[in-house]
């Protein structure tokens, strides 16, 4: 039976609503001796059970301000001036030119109470027939202020005018009405009995054996229960943690680097030509302070030779005059590959399996798929016998652990890897590109004593996050939408 699923407080609310004709405000029920918190709590539960509905609306509450009290006590400025004009027209010099006089004249002209005359080079204010009539009775503003003072209703339009004049203040109040549904009426009409029953079993009740003398309220497994949202990390941080764990499980070691780097480490050492479009001001953030950064002279000479002639790598290089000053320019790193190449040069002996997850910066216009600041997942495998097939296997395993079943690779071009490929995964029936990969070119590795092939990849984290979270706009990842963050399940 429906009654058996109700608490005593819910029964009291139903009975009170019936006594008041089927509906009442929470405040009215409080007047009947109930507590507001219990009334609202019980009403919410009754609404979830379909026995009542709660109707909400907005009510405007007006109050008289200090300025309004002054109007009531001393009169409206235009009304006070109007009384003076009953004795005859007044020149502007007689009226005065202070702020109050200006306000009074403005309102009188607006209401048609006066007109301006010119005579002998002077301006005069003269009362109209409408003004004479208004002087003999209270204005609509005065009536509205008096009604408000006496807790009576007043015309909404007049109150809005008084609000603009600073005579009244306005607040909005949520007005609720609780009313019985047809289902609720049927339950009440069948009769409700409020009885002493046990709703929660405690050690004290068990010890006293009080439970033997009372009834237990039935437990309703179908009843509504409010959702609880525990604290959790932002989804981007959860993804980073998941990626970190996957690489560690696969035998990789994490490294980190700096946001601010020289062009040498970010571009030159990776065999990116100094006239490459990615190095333009419109694509890269360059720093003013510091604008230059010193670079190891020995390393600089090696890289300069590689760019100009290819050195001893069987490459012809780029065939231009390498600028060492350009190498010293300072920028915000454009990729995390800068971390891995530095690690390789400092640890040229294999084996090495490393990865990094960090922010990179590019001069991108913000739109639904681009941000000027984003995360990149970088990794390399450097060991004897490393080959292209192993690279494909590592990336397939990583994406499989991330939840992507269908993965494919397409040939691509990158300045510092050869051969190169792009990684795509199938998502919602479409193939999406998530990053680039390849084997470091000899020009990048051989000059520093790195003999074995180096497998490398760089993956965009935000695009992967959009697919996993079902987002269509990359900016949604960083909006402070508390409701979305609360309801998002753990990844």
Lowest-confidence region among 76-80, 219-223, 277-281, 487-491: 219-223
Share of the chain above pLDDT 90, in %: 47
Q: How confident is the model at residue 4 (pLDDT cuts 50, 70, 90)?
A: low
Check whether 3 has a pLDDT greater than 60.
no
Q: Is the dihedral of CA 263, 266, 268, 273 positive or negative?
A: negative
Q: How confident is the model at residue 293 (pLDDT cuts 50, 70, 90)?
A: very high
User: pLDDT tens across 231-252, in order?
Assistant: 899 999 999 999 999 999 999 9
How many CB atoms are located within 10 Å of the residue 276 CB? Answer: 12
- Region 2-62+173-216: CATH code: 1.10.10.10
What would the mean pLDDT of 63-87 be, rounded to a whole number? Answer: 89
pLDDT at position 99 is: 77
Check whether 432 has a pLDDT greater than 70.
yes
Residue with more model confidence, 433 or 212: 433
CA distances from 18 to 11, 34, 64, 184 (A): 11, 15, 38, 9
CATH architecture for residues 227-259+334-491: 2-Layer Sandwich (3.30)
User: pLDDT tens across 372-402, in order?
Assistant: 999 999 999 999 999 999 999 999 999 999 9
The structure's pTM equals: 0.58
Question: What is the rounded CA–CA span in Å between residue 335 and residue 355?
Answer: 13
pLDDT at position 345 is: 93
Query: Does the domain spanning 66-156 belong to CATH 1.10.3470.10?
Result: no
- Asked if the domains 2-62+173-216 and 66-156 are classified in one and the same CATH topology, the answer is yes
User: Which residue pairs from 186-191 have beta carbons closer than 8 angstroms and sit at least 24 positions apart in sequence?
Assistant: 187/2, 187/3, 187/14, 187/51, 188/14, 188/15, 188/17, 188/18, 190/3
pLDDT at position 64 is: 92
Instruction: Supply the mean pLDDT for the chain.
Output: 89
User: pLDDT tens across 264-283, in order?
Assistant: 999 999 999 998 887 787 78
Domain borders along the chain are 2-62+173-216, 66-156, 227-259+334-491, 261-332
Check whether 301 has a pLDDT greater than 90.
yes
CA distances from 112 to 6, 88, 102, 125, 138 (A): 65, 17, 15, 12, 16
Q: Phi and psi for 372 in degrees, rounded to 5?
A: -75, -10
CA distances from 248 to 176, 241, 255 (A): 56, 11, 12
């Amino acid at each position: 039976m429906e009654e058996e699923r109700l608490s005593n407080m819910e029964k009291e609310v139903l009975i009170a609503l019936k006594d008041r004709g089927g509906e009442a405000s929470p405040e009215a029920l409080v007047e009947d001796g109930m507590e507001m918190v219990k009334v609202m709590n019980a009403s919410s539960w009754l609404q979830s059970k379909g026995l009542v509905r709660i109707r909400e609306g907005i009510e405007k509450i007006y109050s008289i301000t200090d300025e309004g009290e002054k109007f009531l006590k001393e009169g409206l400025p235009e009304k006070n001036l109007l009384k003076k004009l009953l004795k005859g027209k007044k020149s502007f010099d007689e009226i005065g030119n202070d702020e109050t006089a200006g306000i009074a004249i403005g309102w009188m002209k607006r209401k048609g109470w006066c007109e301006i005359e010119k005579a002998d080079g002077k301006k005069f204010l003269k009362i109209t027939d409408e003004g004479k009539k208004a002087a003999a009775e209270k204005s609509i503003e005065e009536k509205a202020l008096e009604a408000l003072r006496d807790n009576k209703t007043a015309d909404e339009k007049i109150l809005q005018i008084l609000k603009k004049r600073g005579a009244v203040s306005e607040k909005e109040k949520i007005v609720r009405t609780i009313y019985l549904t047809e289902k609720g009426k049927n339950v009440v009409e069948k009769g409700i009995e409020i009885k002493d029953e046990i709703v929660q079993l405690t050690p004290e009740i068990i010890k006293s054996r009080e439970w033997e003398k009372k009834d237990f309220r039935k437990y309703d497994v179908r009843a509504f229960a409010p959702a609880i949202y525990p604290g959790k990390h932002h989804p981007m941080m959860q993804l980073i943690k998941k990626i970190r764990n996957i690489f560690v499980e696969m035998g990789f070691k994490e490294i980190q680097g700096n946001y601010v780097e020289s062009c040498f480490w970010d571009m030159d050492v990776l065999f990116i030509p100094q006239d490459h479009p990615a190095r333009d001001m419109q694509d890269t953030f360059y720093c003013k302070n510091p604008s230059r950064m010193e670079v190891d002279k020995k390393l600089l000479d090696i890289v300069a030779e590689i760019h100009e002639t290819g050195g001893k790598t069987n490459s012809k290089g780029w065939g231009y005059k390498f600028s060492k000053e350009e190498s010293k320019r300072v920028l915000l790193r454009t990729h995390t590959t800068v971390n891995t190449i530095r690690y390789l040069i400092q640890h040229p002996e294999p084996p090495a399996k490393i990865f990094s997850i960090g922010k990179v910066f590019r001069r991108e216009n913000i739109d639904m798929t681009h941000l000027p600041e984003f995360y990149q997942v970088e990794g390399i495998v450097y060991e004897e016998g490393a080959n292209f097939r192993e690279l494909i296997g590592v990336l397939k395993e990583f994406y499989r652990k991330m939840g992507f079943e269908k993965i494919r690779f397409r040939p691509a071009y990158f300045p510092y890897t050869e051969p190169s490929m792009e990684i795509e995964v199938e998502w919602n029936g479409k193939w999406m590109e998530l990053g680039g990969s390849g084997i470091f070119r000899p020009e990048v590795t051989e000059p520093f004593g790195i003999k074995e092939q180096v497998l490398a990849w760089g993956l965009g984290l935000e695009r992967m996050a959009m697919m996993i979270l079902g987002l269509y706009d990359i900016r949604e990842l960083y909006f402070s939408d508390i409701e979305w963050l609360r309801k998002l399940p753990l990844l």
